[in-house]
Structure 1
Amino acid sequence: MNKNIDTIPFKQALWYWFKLGFISFGGPAGQISMMHQELVEKRKWISEQRFLHALNYCMVLPGPEAQQLATYIGWLMHGVSGGIAAGVLFVLPSLFILIALTWSYLVFNDVPAVSGILYGIKPAVTAIIVFAAYRIGSRTLSNRYLKLIAALSFFAIFALNIPFPLIVLGAGVLGWLGAHCFPNQFHISEHPANSINSFGPAIIDDHTSMPGHAKFTWSKIYKTGLTGFGIWASLILVLLINFGRHNLLTQMAWFFTKAALLTFGGAYAVLPYVYQGGVGHFYWLTGTQMMDGLALGETTPGPLIMIVAFVGFVGGWNHPVFETNSLVWSGIAAASIATLFTFLPSFLFILIGGPLVEATRDDLKMTAPLKGITAAVVGVILNLAVFFAWHVLWPLNFNGPFDVFSALTGTVAFVLLFKFKRGMVTVIGLSAILGLLYSLLITN
């Protein structure tokens, strides 16, 4: 029986996206797991199969996959306005928080209490990523072929350092081959284990009729593409007219547009490019400041790629763009420009590609490669968990002692998530308190 997607109130969805923007800790893995737990398991707004189908598409795109997934689901529920609202609210709180933290970082430099809180949060973030790998893997790796793809993906990125775009391409090819060699393993009617029995029917279920705004037409694609390009070109033109080609804001707009188109594989894939440009070419900030910004980005809600707001603020602070020489307003303007031009392409990818993805949802030729990509993503998430654990447990890269406190905090966080089913906000809050108390104890 078809359902009406409009049964999800727009105001209720807005409130959820607003709340998510403040609690979306844990990087993309944690954020995706958080959305799955809330939207699929608890609220039952969308079925697991449709959630994963959207996730597969977002994984292929350049840009922050968790923010794009929120945009996609918002668009599927309430059209263009829903997609824009979900994507903006996912990012906006993080922008405000990072602006405040970056200002505090530049003015106060080192606050012991803040350092202690961040120290406690890091192992909790690691536990969230490990838990996300388990949750997504347990529901998507439904046969040995997909488990093999996940293992190969982990080995490729961990041991061979193969770029993520190549891993995605290889996984898609393996999924396509698997569909031809083992079609029963990739059939579109297959659901992840126990998903139906666990969660029950959803408002946007596997057989819910496609809403009008999600139907594919070439005219809609052309209109959306031209509108998006027009918005980008108009903003660039405004910056050129008011500030000139060599002004900091204009340079950042162009630089972060290019960065947005190179972010295959998430923030870690593009960080070397941002580092090279921001530190080595434009001298917006120092290498030490860049690393400090990464630490802030890892422990604040929102996509990790929001480190671009830190880079922008520090660049505006170090190179004021206004005649009044206001460092704060220069920093805010630069952080806003960096964020806007980093995320604008993400909205276009979803609003242009969404109808095509929905139109191919029942096409095995399209879904099988995407299943292979999802399997590869599990391996990549596991690699990210290893990366975090390594740097949290051995802060000096094996040249120093093993961090016992971080190991205990991370273990407690994982047990709370896995065994006691505690929410991520609760786990992060408890870990932050433990980190603060421990830092106060060792300094007194």
Structure 2
Amino acid sequence: MTRDLKERLVSLASVFLKLGLIGFGGPAAHIAIMEAEVVRDRKWLERSQFLDLLGATNLIPGPNSTEIAIHIGYMHGGVWGLIVAGVCFILPAVTMTAILAMAYTQFGSLPQIAPLLFGIKPAVIVVIFGALYRLGKKAIKQRNSWAIFLLVILFRLLGLNEVVSMLLGGLLGMVGLVFTQSNPNPIPLLLFLVSNNINQVANENQVNPSLWQLGLFFLKIGSILFGSGYVLIAFLEGQLVNQYGWLTQQQLLDAIAIGQFTPGPVLSTATFIGYVILGVPGAVVATLGIFLPSFFFVLAVNPIIPKLRRSQWTAAFLDAVNVSAVAVMTVVTMNLLYQILWIPTGSFPINWEAMLIIILAGIALFKYELNTALVVLGCSIFGWSLSYI
């Protein structure tokens, strides 16, 4: 290893550890911070190169901001740089999430902690709605996109699996979007279709998974997850909660909520879930499973970015998959909202405390554009104070 490479790796480590520690606000905020750091300040990349990387992340599965970090590491320090940048960006969030998971399993059911989590859950719903709005605004650009969106919602309401719904939406959308343009240039889509038949990684109704089943589940998710890390919620709710029963609806909401306290990738939620299900070994295999595919995808795709970006068929397929992901997230979010607000007994069936927190969180996030972590923390304190009224 040359001295120049060592210096580059040290620079990458310092930059992405810092970004991993201060990267609150979700993928859009991460990308903005990275652009300021590596393009404007350090001039490691031209702005046009950074935009190429941003486009490439939409062509492969995995969390967008994490993959941009890995791309930058690869371009600045080769394979070693890829590893250093990715690990340093992920490590702070994973470490904080693991600590919170340990505290949660020990204290999460106590009355002193329950009011804090009660305040967080409605705030998280608002955060997810905000992500849905931003993603939907970017993904749903034309009439065909709205048709895909509604069709995928119908697929989910009819009970079709999340992965199958998204792939069907992608295929139908690809045909529709490409043939509304002229001179289509088809290329193979096997890279994106091989995941169609790997949905079943554990026995249905399996309550106590083995370590390899848990790891394989998250490896599958990391290999097929298109778009924002928030899409992860759809897979977790549909399979871990409803299909396998490894996680309760309550634990899912708590996992999403606690994930909002940590900076860095949203997918660090997998660390929390792995710990809740199988302790430290579960946290390790869940983390490795969900993040490892991104390193290999970037390593494979980075050299061929120009060809992928020029393909009408690939671009149309992934545009449609992104629309499908927003549709799947919409169904899941409405289900979570119902779980939080609906009280089946009593004269007034709406949880007014949760409704009040949702309204306040919405004002803070959308009108005043406050930091997501601050809003979630404020709502947790407000929820705690409501317990004394």
TM-score (norm 2): 0.69
How big is the shift at 1:148?
Answer: 2.3
Match of residue 256 from structure 2: 298
Deviations 1:188-241 (A, max 9, x none): xxxxxxxxxxxxxxxxxxxxxxxxxxxxxxxxxxxxxxxxxxxxxxxxxxxxxx
Q: Which of 155, 168, 171 is the matching residue for 1:170?
A: 168
How big is the shift at 1:132?
Answer: 1.7
How big is the shift at 1:334?
Answer: 5.0
Deviations 1:27-57 (A, max 9, x none): xxx7334335545699878679646633432
Match of residue 436 from structure 1: 381
C-alpha contact (below 8 Å) 2:148/2:324 kept by paired residues = yes
Match of residue 261 from structure 1: 220
Amino acid at match of 2:369: K
How big is the shift at 1:371?
Answer: 1.7
Query: Structure 1 CA distance, aligned partners of 2:179 and 2:131?
Result: 30
C-alpha contact (below 8 Å) 2:162/2:234 kept by paired residues = no
C-alpha contact (below 8 Å) 1:21/1:93 kept by paired residues = yes
Change (3 A) 1:269 1:370: same
C-alpha contact (below 8 Å) 2:361/2:379 kept by paired residues = no
Deviations 1:113-158 (A, max 9, x none): 433332222222211221222222223322222232223223332x
Query: Structure 2 CA distance, aligned partners of 1:69 and 1:107?
Result: 36
Match of residue 322 from structure 2: 374
**Stretches of structure 1 lacking an aligned partner (at least 5 in a row):** 1-8, 188-247, 281-286, 317-330
Change (3 A) 1:421 1:16: farther
Amino acid at match of 1:103: M
Deviations 1:237-266 (A, max 9, x none): xxxxxxxxxxx9xx6256513541256453
C-alpha contact (below 8 Å) 2:139/2:323 kept by paired residues = yes
Query: Structure 1 CA distance, aligned partners of 2:238 and 2:347?
Result: 24
- Decide which structure has the larger Cα Rg and report it: 1
Change (3 A) 1:156 1:89: farther
- SS of the residue corresponding to residue 360 of structure 1 reads helix
The RMSD of aligned alpha carbons is 4.3
Change (3 A) 1:336 1:396: farther
- SS of the residue corresponding to residue 133 of structure 1 reads helix
Query: Structure 2 CA distance, aligned partners of 1:128 and 1:140?
Result: 18
C-alpha contact (below 8 Å) 1:186/1:368 kept by paired residues = no
C-alpha contact (below 8 Å) 2:357/2:383 kept by paired residues = no
2:53 aligned with 1:57: no
Query: Structure 2 CA distance, aligned partners of 1:295 and 1:368?
Result: 33
Change (3 A) 1:106 1:87: same
TM-score (norm 1): 0.61
Identity %: 24
Query: Structure 1 CA distance, aligned partners of 2:345 and 2:304?
Result: 45
Higher relative contact order by CA 8 Å / sep ≥ 6: 1 or 2?
1
**Stretches of structure 2 lacking an aligned partner (at least 5 in a row):** 1-7, 186-207, 226-231
2:34 aligned with 1:34: no
Match of residue 364 from structure 1: 312
C-alpha contact (below 8 Å) 1:33/1:135 kept by paired residues = no
- 5 Å-filtered alignment, 1:10-159, equals 17-18=16-17, 21=20, 31-36=26-31, 38-39=33-34, 50=52, 53-58=55-60, 61=61, 67-68=66-67, 70-72=69-71, 75=74, 79-157=78-156, 159=157
C-alpha contact (below 8 Å) 2:122/2:354 kept by paired residues = yes
Query: Structure 1 CA distance, aligned partners of 2:130 and 2:36?
Result: 16
How big is the shift at 1:72?
Answer: 4.5
- SS of the residue corresponding to residue 261 of structure 1 reads helix
Match of residue 351 from structure 1: 299
Further displaced range: 107-116 or 43-52: 43-52
Change (3 A) 1:253 1:81: farther
Amino acid at match of 1:54: A
Query: Structure 1 CA distance, aligned partners of 2:183 and 2:27?
Result: 24
How big is the shift at 1:377?
Answer: 2.4
- 5 Å-filtered alignment, 1:361-440, equals 361-394=309-342, 401-424=349-372, 428-440=373-385
Match of residue 205 from structure 1: none
